[in-house]
Each structure stands twice: as C-alpha cells, then as structure tokens.
Amino acid sequence: MSFIYENLFQGLLNLNKLDLSSNGLSSLDSALFNDLVNLIELNIGNNQFKIIDPFLFQNLANLKELSLLENNLTQISATTFKGLFNLKELYLSENNLNEITAASFNDLTNLEQLYLQVNELHSLDMNIFQGLTKLNALYLNGNRLVSLNSNIFKDLINLNTLYLQQNQISLIEENTFHGLNNL
C-alpha cells in the first residue's frame, strides 16, 4: 500500500487504535485522521515518511501513543504535534532527525516517554524540553550529540530514566543535571 484515500477513515468516530506500520507509505493527506477524534494509539512507523504534514494530527486530541519510528524523517516542525495535549508516549526512534525546533514539544504537557534514539541529532535547542514536567523517560542514545548545555533538562523534574550512550559527547556543562532529583 503506498496511497491512502483522504476520506478512508471518514465516520469512524469510535476507532481507538490504528496501525498503519510497515506499508511503504511516504505521505498522508492532512485530513486523513480528521474524524478519528477518539483515537488513542496510532502507529505509522516503519514507512517511508521524510516529512509529516504539520496538520496531520490536529484533531487527535485524545491520542496517548504515537509511533513514527523507523521512517526517514529529518526534521520536526513546531506545529507537527500541536494540540496533542494528552499524548503520553512518542516514538521518533530510528529516523534521520537532525533538527527538532524548540517549540516542537510545547503542547505535549502530559508526555511521559520520549524516544529519540538512533537519529542524527548533533545538538539540542536550549528550550527543546521546556514544559515537559511529566516526562519520566528520555532516550537520546545513538545520536551524534557532542555537548550537553547547562540546564538543558531543567524542566524534566520527574525524569528517572535518561539514555545518552553511543553519542559523541565531549562536553557536559555545569548544572546540566541540576534539579533532576529522580535520576
């Protein structure tokens, strides 16, 4: 399957789990999920996405788990996850992410687990994790990070799991882990 019609899921208001993984998909229409207002889990991993339409998830306010792992994503825009206030788990592993804008995760105030391992991240914006106070697990292993800035994790007060192995870190600034009392 390489194409999905825009209105394929029209009227499926009670659908709560959808798995479209491993289908060779490279793009999805921005209106595809508009009627899936009760969707809780969405897996579109292991496809061929290079970019995600910035409005694809706009009506999925009840979504708790989103998997985009094993695609070819290179960047995440500031609006990609807008409105996903109830999201708890976000899987972005094994892509080619080299840039994530600072505002990308702003609406994810209930996020508990963030999987960013095995990407091409060289650096992290100072405010990338701002507001993620409920995050308890962060996977950054297998990237190309060379340094960790002071206070980069300052808002992650509930963080108890942090993976940083298999990077190229040569500098960890003072106060990088300040306030992370659960680690």
Structure tokens at 76: 């995440």
DSSP letters along 127-158, please? TTTTT-TT--EEE-TTS---EE-TTTTTT-TT
Residues 80-121: tens digit of each pLDDT: 999 999 999 999 999 999 999 889 999 999 999 999 999 999
Identify the pLDDT of residue 1: 67
Closest Cα partner for 104 from 75, 133, 142, 69?
75
What is the chain's mean pLDDT, rounded?
95
Structure tokens at 31: 């209106």
Identify the pLDDT of residue 102: 87
**Which residue segments constitute the domains of the chain, with CATH numbers given?**
1-71 (3.80.10.10), 109-183 (3.80.10.10)
Torsion of CA 139, 150, 78, 35, to 10 degrees: 40
Structure tokens at 74: 């290179």
pTM (two decimals): 0.96
Percent of the chain with pLDDT over 90: 92
Residue with tokens 């009392």: 181
Identify the pLDDT of residue 74: 95
Residues 15-69: tens digit of each pLDDT: 999 999 999 999 999 999 999 999 999 999 999 999 999 999 999 999 999 999 9
Residues 133-155: tens digit of each pLDDT: 999 999 999 999 999 999 999 99
